[in-house]
Amino acid sequence: MLGFPCNQFGAQEPGTNEEILEFATSNYDANFQLFSKVEVNGDGACDLYRLLKEAQPGDIAWNFTKFLIDGDGKVVARYEPQVAPDEIANDLSARLG
């Protein structure tokens, strides 16, 4: 799992990258790679999110949109924010075979 903070949704990530990392690890015990803050929609969207949305179309509606990428780098699924990570377990297990 990789995390990309974004402040485009209700200004929920206003801090620095260091502050966001501290908050995620101390409050949520985040144990995954957390990258620098990015934009995911609009003209300023980072290249990664442009590619993700090309493969699974549509703007990102809110934080915690998730994408499943296979071992070949192909985007195989998109999960909206209300889908909990444990709900993705079956799809992930099927891909890991």
Domains and CATH numbers, the chain: 2-96 (3.40.30.10)
Question: What is the number of helices (H) and of strands (E) in the chain?
Answer: 3, 4
Report d(CA 43, CA 23) in Å as an integer. 28
Q: What is the pLDDT of residue 94?
A: 85
Report d(CA 42, CA 57) in Å as an integer. 13
pLDDT of the chain, 97 residues: tens digit per residue: 899 999 999 999 999 999 999 999 999 899 999 999 999 999 999 999 999 999 999 999 998 999 999 989 999 999 999 999 889 988 888 888 7
pTM over 0.85: yes
